[in-house]
Amino acid sequence: MTSPIPSWLILLTLAAVFTVMLSLGLLLGREQLAAAMQRRTVLAGLLFAVVVLVPASAVLLVKAFGLKGAVAAGILLMAISPGAPVALRRAIEVGGHPAFAPALHLAIVLSAIVTVPASVAALDLIFAKDFSVSPLDVARQVFFAQLLPLGLGAAVRAYRPEAAARIEPRLARVSNAMLLALVIVLLATLWPLLVDIGWAPFAAGAGLAACALLLGAACAGRDARVRPAGALAAAMRNLGLALLIATVNKLPAAVIASVVSCALGLAMVVTAFVVWQARRAPPKRNQVETFRFS
């Protein structure tokens, strides 16, 4: 099924991703870079899990269950799209290290400029050219949708910290509302296709999330404050980026539906993990406030 994706949906996706990344950029400062340097080995291990182990697990999942076409494409697009914006906030809320978590997210976003195009090229080879997305186009999309707004936000925090502290909470609410609106619009628009493709992408997303949580936690090592951030960073894939790749490159609407269905399955498992982790380690509000406004 090759129904064209409306231009307004592309614009909504672009706006949502840009706004979310801008709000996260307002949280980045020197203390986050220092925290990353203190845990270089853990950071490298988590990056490996996020950009190599999780996509590899998705390929094995698709191959093992014989998934093909739009279903396989949607699952794999989610798997190769790291750096979910809400992962950072969730990691801090459930007790993740308030300085290391944003440093990890920044590293993931930076690496995505290279790893996402490379992953697309690898999928071209593995699946005999089923994927026709240009790696250079993907690199450009990742830069403008993620790195540019992240850099703008970080610049505002560096030169106008008071303004960043004042703007960030409001922009965060706006960005969350935009993401919610995007999901609602997608569900309403793609509901017939979601019914047609069945439960396979949803189940695959749930299974991939469970596997990614284990991989992220394992690669985080013994540091209890880093482990939640590592697990969530590995499990939470970037729905906005996956949709951006699919919509800008005019992939079939059934692929978009598969991406959304996979994201819903993933979100269910991640939400259960967040609730469980929050009960074990209640949110440390003072740390979050210090992180935001220091």
What is the sign, positive or negative, of the torsion defined by CA atoms of 182, 188, 189, 192? positive
Q: What is the pLDDT of residue 285?
A: 46
How crowded is residue 60: how many other Cβ atoms within 10 Å of its Cβ?
11
State yes or no: pLDDT of 107 exceeds 50: yes
Task: Please give the distance of CA 266 from its chain centroid, rounded to a whole number.
Answer: 11
Q: Where are the domains of the chain?
A: 7-293
Threshold 0.95, pTM exceeds: no
Q: What are phi and psi of 65, to 5 degrees?
A: -100, 5
CA angle 65, 70, 71 (to 5 degrees): 35
State yes or no: pLDDT of 126 exceeds 50: yes
Region of poorest pLDDT, from 55-69, 90-104, 235-249: 90-104
Q: Does domain 7-293 have CATH number 1.20.1530.20?
A: yes
Residue written as token pair 């090229």: 121
Higher pLDDT, 126 or 243: 243
DSSP sequence for 195-247: HHHTTHHHHHHHHHHHHHHHHHHHHHTT-TTTHHHHHHHHH---HHHHHHHHH
Q: Identify whether the C-beta of residue 216 lies closer than 8 Å to the C-beta of residue 101.
A: no
For 145-171, what is each residue's pLDDT tens digit? 778 888 899 899 889 989 988 998 888
